[in-house]
Structure 1
Amino acid sequence: MQEWGTPEVPGRPRAKERNAISSARTEGPDHTLALELVRVTEAAAIAADRWVGRGATNRGKAAALEAIHKRIMSVPMRGVVVIREGEKRDTPALFTGEGVGDGNGPACDIGISAGDSTHLMAREVPYALTAIAVAERGALYDPSPALSMEKLAVGPDCADVVDINRPVAENLHAVATAKGVPVSEVIVAVLNRRRHLKLVRDIRDAGARVHLIEGGDVAGAIAAACPHSPVDILVGTGGAAQGVIAAAALSCMGGSLQARLRPNDLEHGEKPGTGHDFDTVLHTGDLVRGQSVVFCATGVTGSELLHGVQHHAGRTTTQSMVMCSTPHTVRTVTSEHRHARRREHPGIDSG
């Protein structure tokens, strides 16, 4: 496996000296930290991939979380897990409030999405990602795990023309105008869920095209802001945790996420609980308030956004997105992880 690590070489600071340098850098996450974190999402994607297509609903996510936990502890930061997609029963690793990193470097909030959708990995359908969002301490919005989130995500060219309070048809015509195309060419990403049946009808009645995604709430939002993606806008209701993680990515891309909290389990008609505001519209800056934001994601199953994990003779390849808000940069990183060769003991017949 290719490593980003820095071995001890003459003229380079030793480990203790590097720690001292790192501890002085506490202003917030930056591109250097992003390149450390991509190793973590790569390891998680490879671990999750071992369970792709095997029908084991939670095993891939558990494997990804364990891989993240193992790798993230050596990353130079003082992180606290604020958001972790999934339930604690998936794996005891990386519970909310847990400290991560090596104890040096910037103080950070951490959001983790291990697989983006458990069912994606179990059935090998597109858009599964392992993702990590990092922002300054106190910058990530902390939603209740019992809540879902209604979302509207677009790229920079449409950030100022849409409003989640408007009917979907009005937003689609606004997107078409901003892009200079007829509404019939607008492609809308929607999670393939029963709760979205009416939404899908409304989109088609407006004349736009529906791109149904089985999961990949984070990936779908990113796709709406990617210039090489066919998706123009993401609408619908998904997980609140994924919404915050997607907002971190969009803040690095100049895109926009508008959201409203919703009760969980909408398909079973659960009534809104008390103590939550279901009317206020949350914007990207409400969900991710920091000035320094880093987002890393590695594809587990492939899509037009990222290739999935691919195995070859003696090596495994991964493709990742590495984003920073300051400066605004989006990188695609393709890595080749070489497998260690097993040496046969001299004098022993391997046949």
Structure 2
Amino acid sequence: MDRNLGMDFVRATEAAALSSGRWVGKGDRHAVDQAACEAMRRTLGDIDMKGVVVIGEGERDEAPMLYIGEELGTGNGYAVQIAVDPVEGTNLVATGQPGAISVVAAAIEGEGKLLRAPDIYMDKLVVGPAAKGAVDITLPPRMNLKVIAKSLGKEVQDLTVGMLDRPRHEQLIREIRQAGARIRLVSDGDLSLALEALDPQGEIDVLMGIGGAPEGVLSAAAALCMGGEIQARLVFRNEQERERAKQLLGTEDVDRVLTMEDLAWGNVVFAATGITGGNLLGGVRYTGWGAITHSVVMRSRSGTIRWLETHHHFHHDPRY
């Protein structure tokens, strides 16, 4: 996957952020989704590739998201698997809260792969490069926190664990507090927390807890590019979800631990742009002449991570 294709994907996240950013704090979730989805679809459609969406939200939401199986691109060039989340944190944008981002990950067919994860829940454990290989999602939180602290040269009391603020995490929160670690709870957006956990400069040392499986695949793509690690397990609310996972994944063993090799491998690109400002990515800032965005684009093959501040002059097409 060449550098120009990677930059094409970050242009897609920028376009989605610029369009949905117009709706920050206006209370209209549908308009946020529609603006981001249309801008991202239009930009991805102009790329010379034979793209197909393998991770999307079309199966879950009635909002106009890019749907699983949708074909994108000009039909020329590489065959590419695409994972998208035009707005991670729709509620955050609608209510004007920080932490919303636009995300695309991609893998070239034959050179890389992204898991076609069912749109269900997933229990995740995400750490950065220093703790890679040291954690085990099947162990109690206190044991993982101890090895993470050792890997980072910290005390457990100085670790920060990120997770979604959900009733399902009450027991996990209790165990982490008993171990002595700090916790940051967010209302939406565990992918943003995963990115912080993967970044050695981030304020989060580890992501724990249950969120969406599609976001888990996107987190794995970022982990592959950043040299970190994710371990995960699918979480089923009913037998129908279990059977659907068996059919989609082509295996009866849907309860096993999913590793990096299961979720994302090979030649992968990850791109994200901030919509509302967060700890890693600033939000869209509109000016008299256009707007400023903050993005990151990563490539697993080269190991490059580029943090971009882009100035968009609106007398030009922002897709280019």
How big is the shift at 1:263? 2.1
Q: Distance in 2 between matches of 1:222 and 1:312?
A: 28
For 2:195, the aligned partner's letter is: I
Number of matched pairs: 305
Answering whether residue 152 of structure 2 is matched by residue 176 of structure 1, we say no
Greater C-alpha radius of gyration: 1
Q: Contact 1:262/1:278 (CA < 8 Å) preserved in 2?
A: no
| Mapping 1:204-215, distance limit 5 Å | 204-215=177-188
How big is the shift at 1:31? 2.2
With over 3 angstroms needed to count, the CA separation of the structure-2 counterparts of 1:143 and 1:49, relative to structure 1, is: same
Aligned partner of 1:110 in structure 2 is 82
Aligned partner of 1:329 among 300, 304, 309: 304
| Mapping 1:96-175, distance limit 5 Å | 96-137=68-109, 139-145=113-119, 147-175=120-148
Which is strand-richer, 1 or 2? 2
For 1:140, the aligned partner's letter is: L
| Mapping 1:28-67, distance limit 5 Å | 29-67=1-39
Q: Distance in 1 between matches of 2:128 and 2:283?
A: 23
| Mapping 1:172-321, distance limit 5 Å | 172-263=145-236, 273-275=241-243, 276=245, 277-289=253-265, 291-321=266-296
Q: Distance in 2 between matches of 1:46 and 1:165?
A: 41
The CA RMSD measured in Å over matched residues stands at: 1.7
Q: Contact 1:125/1:214 (CA < 8 Å) preserved in 2?
A: no
How big is the shift at 1:115? 1.2
For 1:216, the aligned partner's letter is: G
Q: Distance in 2 between matches of 1:130 and 1:122?
A: 14
SS at match of 2:276: coil
Q: Distance in 2 between matches of 1:55 and 1:243?
A: 27
Aligned partner of 2:249 in structure 1 is none
Q: Distance in 1 between matches of 2:170 and 2:286?
A: 38
How big is the shift at 1:171? 0.4
5+ residue gaps, structure 2, are 246-252
Q: Contact 1:186/1:209 (CA < 8 Å) preserved in 2?
A: yes
For 2:94, the aligned partner's letter is: A
TM-score using structure 2 length? 0.91
- Identity over aligned residues, as a percent? 40
Aligned partner of 1:10 in structure 2 is none
SS at match of 2:62: helix
5+ residue gaps, structure 1, are 1-28, 265-269, 342-351
